[in-house]
Amino acid sequence: MMARHYILAFLLIINAGAFAQGVRFTASVSKTIAGTGEEFEISFSVNSNADNFTPPDFRGFQVLAGPNVSSSMTSINGNMSSSTSYSYYLMPVKEGTYTIGPAAISVNGRTIRSNAVQVRVVKGRPVPRSGQQAQAAPPDEDIIESRPAKLSNSIFLRTVADKTNVFHGQQITVSYKLYTRVSIVASQVDKLPDLNGFWSEDVKTDNQNAEWTTETYKGQKYHVATVKKTILFSDHAGNLTIDPLQMTFVVRQAAPARTLMDEFFGTYEDVKYKVKSLPLTIHVKPLPEAGKPQDFTGAVGNFTIAASADKKELKANEALNYSFKISGSGNLKLLKAPLISFPPDFEKYDPKITDAISVQESGVSGSRSYNYLLIPRHEGDYAIEAQHFSYFNPSTGKYVTLSTPSFPVRVNKGNPADNQVYTSSDKQDVKLLNKDIRYIKTGDPELYKEGEEFYGSFLFYILLLLGPLAFAGALWYRNWHRKNNADPVLVKSRKAAKLAAKHLANAEKQLTANRGKEFYEDISRGLYGYLSDKLNIPSADLSKERIAADLRSQNVNDETIGQLTETLSLCEMARFAPITGISAKEVFEKAKSTIYAIESNL
Buried b (16+ CB within 10 A) or exposed e, 76-92: eeeeeeebbbbbbbbbb
The string of pLDDT tens digits covering residues 169-193 is 999 999 999 999 888 888 888 888 8
- CA distances 36 to 28, 32, 105, 564, Å, are 19, 13, 30, 58
Out of 53-67, 308-322, 393-407, 574-588, pick the least confident. 574-588
Q: What's residue 263's pLDDT?
A: 55
Nearest in space to 315 (alpha carbons), one of 411, 415, 417: 411
Region 302-326: what's the mean pLDDT? 91
Residue 491 has pLDDT above 80, yes or no: no
* pLDDT value of position 13: 44
Check residue 434 and give its pLDDT: 47
Q: What is the largest CA-CA distance in the chain?
A: 119
Q: How confident is the model at residue 304 (pLDDT cuts 50, 70, 90)?
A: very high
Q: How many CA atoms lie within 13 A of 207 on its CB side?
A: 26
**Helix/strand/coil for 503:** helix
Mean pLDDT of 109-115: 88
Tell me what pLDDT residue 18 has: 40
Nearest residue to 135 via CA among 94, 190, 178? 178
**How many helices (H) and strands (E) in the chain?**
8, 33
Looking at the chain, the whole-number percentage of residues with pLDDT higher than 90 is 17
Q: What is the pLDDT of residue 258?
A: 61
pLDDT bracket for residue 7 (50, 70, 90): very low
Report the mean per-residue pLDDT for the chain: 77
Q: What confidence score (pLDDT) does residue 20 get?
A: 44
Which bin fits 141, alpha (ψ -120 to 50), beta or left (φ > 0)? alpha
pLDDT tens string 264-299: 555 677 788 899 999 999 999 999 998 899 888 889
pLDDT of residue 125: 61
Question: Does the pLDDT value for residue 92 go beyond 50?
Answer: yes
pLDDT band at 253 (very low <50, low <70, confident <90, very high): confident
For the cut 90, the answer to whether the pLDDT of residue 303 exceeds it is yes
Among candidate residues 54, 41, 363, the one with its CA nearest the CA of residue 202: 363
Where residue 126 falls among pLDDT bands split at 50, 70, 90? low
Any idea which of 94-108, 125-139, 349-363, 492-506 has the lowest mean pLDDT? 125-139
Q: Which domains does the chain have, with CATH numbers?
A: 24-122 (2.60.40.10), 133-285 (no CATH), 307-433 (2.60.40), 488-601 (1.20.120)
Q: Which residue has the higher pLDDT, 453 or 29?
A: 29
pLDDT interval class at 36 (50, 70, 90): confident
Label residue 442 by pLDDT band (50, 70, 90): low
| Highest mean pLDDT out of 69-73, 133-137, 192-196, 285-289 | 285-289
Q: What is residue 266's predicted lDDT score, i.e. its pLDDT?
A: 54
More confident residue, 66 or 305: 305
Are 529 and 499 within 8 A, CB to CB?
yes
If pLDDT is split at 50, 70 and 90, which confidence band does 129 have? very low
How far apart CA 317 and CA 419 sit, in angstroms, is 6
Tens of pLDDT along 429-439?
444 444 555 55
pTM: 0.46
- In terms of Cβ atoms closer than 10 Å to its own Cβ (0-12, 13-18, 19+), residue 368 is buried
What's the average model confidence in pLDDT over 327-332? 90
Q: Which residues contact 598 (CB under 8 A, 6 or more apart)?
A: 534, 551, 556, 560, 564
Position 593 pLDDT exceeds 60:
yes
Q: Let me know: does 102 contact 27? Beta carbons within 8 Å.
A: yes
pLDDT digits (tens, 9 = 90+) for 500-556: 777 778 777 777 877 777 877 887 877 778 778 777 777 666 777 877 787 888 777
Among the ranges given (70-84, 137-151, 172-186, 332-346), the one the predictor scored with the smallest mean pLDDT: 137-151
Q: Check residue 138 and give its pLDDT.
A: 43
Which residues are CB-neighbours of 109 under 8 A, at least 6 positions away? none
- The single-letter code of the amino acid at 48 is S
The confidence band for 144, taking pLDDT boundaries of 50, 70 and 90, is very low
Q: What is the pLDDT of residue 449?
A: 59
